[in-house]
Amino acid sequence: MSLQGWRRAADNLTRRVQLHADRRILRDNEDFTLRMAASLARKHGANDLRTLSQRRRHASTLRGLGRSAEAEAELADVITALTAAVGRGHRDTLNARAHHAAALRDLGRYREAEAELNELVAALSESHADSSSCRAWHAVVLQDLGRFEEAEAELRQLLDAAIGLHGPDHPDALVARTNHALALGELGRAHDAEAELAVAVAGLIRACGAWHRNTLTAHVQHALALRRLGRLQEAESELSQATRALSLVLGQDRVDTHRSRAWHAVILHDLGRLDEARPELSAAVAELTRLLGADHPQTLRHRGHLAALLRDLGHPDQARAEYDTALRAAERVLGADHPVTATIRAGSA
């Protein structure tokens, strides 16, 4: 092995050690926040604001570990207790409600999340510390619901505000640029979206590092923008690398890892590499079903992709069964007019 090769190997080993340490810290923090909440409950009572605030932190840690169902249940209990203690409009209650809405979104409960966030955005002044994050979550949920024009307008305002406050190279501005680019892509402005995402990826590498979660998320979205433009070889290369990196950064048991894996399989399908795509997409759909549930919109989207792949592999009966199951669930969960539902329906025709 050359000296350069040894250096690359050493760098990769260093990254692996650091990523393992980061995940261990998060798991330790989950145990710490749980023990602190129990300690505060014993000392001050279960409904004391200090106890409830610590329980909110514990729920946020659970979300960070990908355990959104547990986080949602914990936050719902905290909100009930805070509402009884200090009212629904108190700053602590509003903060817990914002985190609860984010957990609802994780779980694919988009309409509930949008209703909560819509109320929060109306309640919070622009100067409130949680205002920008609530508006950003609200805009992203609007995208999830297929309301792309509303989302793009909101995300454009948030991007301009972040640039004005922090400058264009700040991580917050770069994340806002990534989110805005997603809305551009959904509106059919593929070239604009790709250009925005290329800027975001380069900026996040400089600001946060190549292995940061935000950087890898931007890489995935840039690859999907390249796919929209028909630049499939570039898209496959970028998404393959991003998927491997996500498996290291987040681990094999996380939604983002398997969502990226599913999209990589979709691009393999686009390239005609069907035999490579099938085991990858089947495994990703199985993992998304396990982690999110069979009716989660992300699961349904990729079940539609799996049905299309089975059809092109010459398995029409299996493809029809997948399409029918995915379409019935999408119509029930998202509605007949949602873009994901429409895409599955078009594929099954």
Q: Where are the domains of the chain?
A: 29-142, 146-232, 250-349
pLDDT digits 0-9 by tens, 276-317: 999 999 999 999 999 999 999 999 999 999 999 999 999 999
Assign 22 a pLDDT band (cuts: 50, 70, 90). Answer: low
Contact 296, 302 (CB under 8 A): no
Could you tell me which CATH number the domain at 250-349 has? 1.25.40.10
Q: How far apart are CA 325 and CA 67, in angstroms?
A: 26
What is d(CA 174, CA 168) in angstroms, rounded to the nearest whole number? Answer: 7
Q: What does the pLDDT read at residue 31? A: 76
> What is the maximum alpha-carbon separation in the chain?
66
SS percent in the chain: helix, strand, coil, step 5: 85, 0, 15
Tokens describing residue 253: 């048991």
Q: In the structure, what pLDDT confidence band is assigned to residue 126 with cuts at 50, 70 and 90? A: low
pLDDT tens for 59-88 read 998 998 889 999 999 999 999 999 999 999
Q: Does the fold of domain 250-349 match that of domain 146-232?
A: yes
What are φ and ψ of residue 295, in 5° steps?
A: -100, 5
| pTM (two decimals) | 0.86
- Written out in words, the top-level CATH class of the domain with range 146-232 is mainly alpha
Tell me what the mean pLDDT of segment 199-209 comes to: 96
**Residue 1: pLDDT band by 50, 70, 90 thresholds?**
very low
Burial-class residue 231 by CB neighbours within 10 Å (0-12, 13-18, 19+). middle
- What's the whole-number mean pLDDT along residues 182-190? 96
Task: Determine the CATH number of domain 29-142.
Answer: 1.25.40.10
